[in-house]
Amino acid sequence: MSIFVNSETKVIYQGLTGSQGKYYGLLNRDYGTKVVAGTNPKKAGTDVEGIPIFASVAEAVGETGATASCIFIPAPGVRSAVLEAAQGGVDFIVAITEGVPAHDEALFYNQLRKDFPNVQLLGPNCPGIISPGECNIGITAGHIALPGGPVGIVSRSGTLTYQALHELKEKGIGCTTCVGIGGDPVPGTSFIDCLAAFEADPDTKAVMMIGEIGGSAEEEAAEFISNNMTKPISAYIAGVTAPPGKKMGHAGAIVSGGKGTAKAKMEALEEAGVKVGNNPTEAGDLMAEIVSQL
């Protein structure tokens, strides 16, 4: 079992004909993901290594029965690509692209909630999602994840997610699903969305959470954990020593007006009963301890 995507998920790649889209789309297919179509209005009727290209998401959904879409379109086109995907009939959209303006993100987030309440958007600016052994959508190197569970992972950072998957694999611990929610100010999927899904998934027995400075998503997650989670959680927050007022790579990773510090996030999570590590290795060790006691 897994959350959001599994071995049956059929995926359309918007931007499959571009260099990034083609590279990762084919890697995802090699992993076993059902990559059923690509879209590009100028190249409809052609194919990318056997994957048919359609003019629009709606057409691709009609022909293939796809339920998910992955966006590898450059930042200026992401706003219309997200809305096209929702209108086209998929219910899960993964937007990998980084550099999308925050106003666009706020706009399509609210547009989806209003007009397409059943559509789940992941990203933008995220590594994607992998249910190891079943489905990999995005830019995660599939082989660093061990299939089978019992741990679910949700993370705001790409490379720290890989680090977490790698450390768990080294310890022989598998993962049900690993969701990279991305480091932008308005992520389509939140920690809470993933925690709720992991809580409901019978195969996920524990959750690892990787946050970073900026915003209050971790504090909100802590409150949700206190009230709703029965499964044990370990966490790590990056940016303990980040100076205020400086964006640390991610558009959303900034401490401003004394808000969004790592310390406040770690304290909120600890108060909610989460085991918080001071670095990724410590968080991995804490998870190993949790798993050994399951």
Partner 1 sequence: MDLFEYQGKEFFAEYGMPVSPGELAFTTEEAVTAAENLGCPVMVKAQVHTGGRGKAGGVKFAASIDEVSEHAENILGLDINGHIVERLWIEKASDIAEEYYASFTLDRSAKKHLGMLSAEGGVEIETVAEENPEAIARIWIDPVEGLSEGNCRNWVKEAALPEQANEGAVEILLKLYEAYVDGDADLVEINPLILTEDGKVHVLDAKVTLDSNSVFRHENYVDFDQTQTRDEREMAAHSKGLQYVGLEGEVGVIANGAGLAMSTVDVVNQVGGRPANFLDIGGGANADVMTAALEVINNDPAVRSIFINIFGGITRGEEIANGIIDALDRVEMRSPIVIRLDGTNADEGRAILEPHLSQTLQVAPTMLDGAEQAVALAKGMNN
Q: Which is nearer to partner 1, 85 or 126 (CB)?
A: 126
> Smallest gap, in angstroms, from Cβ of residue 247 to partner 1?
8
Q: Which stretch binds partner 1 (CB under 8 A): 36-44, 58-66, 161-169, 268-276?
A: 161-169
* Shortest distance in whole angstroms from residue 225 CB to partner 1: 16
Does residue 227 bind partner 1 (CB under 8 A)? no
CA atoms within 13 A on the CB side of 29: 18
Q: Of 69, 131, 157, 176, which lies in the binding site for partner 1, with binding defined by CB under 8 A? A: 157
| Residue 183 C-beta: closest distance to partner 1, Å | 6
Which stretch in 1-9, 48-56, 107-115, 129-137 sits in contact with partner 1 by CB under 8 A? 107-115
- Residue 96 CB-density burial (10 A; 0-12 exposed, 13-18 middle, 19+ buried): buried
Q: Which is nearer to partner 1, 68 or 186 (CB)?
A: 186
The single residue among 159, 244, 270, 271 that binds partner 1, judged by CB under 8 A, is: 159
3-state secondary structure of 120: strand
The residues in 29-48 that bind partner 1, with binding defined as CB under 8 A, are none
d(CA 122, CA 124): 6
d(CA 201, CA 204): 6
| Binding to partner 1 in span 169-208, by CB under 8 A | 183, 185-186
Radius of gyration of the chain (CA): 18
Closest distance of CB 172 from partner 1, Å? 17
CA distance 117 to 209: 26
| Residue 150 CB partners (closer than 8 Å, separation 6+) | 173, 174, 176, 203, 204, 205, 206, 291, 294
Q: What single DSSP character describes residue 30?
A: H
The whole-angstrom separation of Cα 269 and Cα 236 is 10
- Cα(253)–Cα(81) distance, integer angstroms: 25
Size of the site for partner 1 (CB under 8 A): 60
Name residue, tokens 């992972």.
153
**Residue reference for tokens 């106003």:** 103
CB within 8 Å of 4: residues ≥ 6 apart: 92, 120, 122, 129, 131, 177, 179, 197
Under rule CB under 8 A, residue 103 binds partner 1: yes
238 binds partner 1 (CB under 8 A): yes
250 is catalytic: yes
Binder of partner 1 out of 106, 244, 263, 289 (CB under 8 A): 106
241 binds partner 1 (CB under 8 A): yes
Q: Active site residue: 103, 143, 166, 250, which one? A: 250
How many whole angstroms separate alpha carbon 254 and alpha carbon 114? 29
DSSP 82: H
How far apart are CB 181 and partner 1 at their closest, in Å? Answer: 12
The residues that are catalytic are: 250
Q: Which residues bind partner 1 (CB under 8 A)?
A: 27, 75-76, 99-103, 106-107, 109-111, 114, 139-141, 143-144, 155-163, 166, 183, 185-186, 210, 212-213, 215-217, 220, 236, 238-243, 246-253, 257-258, 278-281
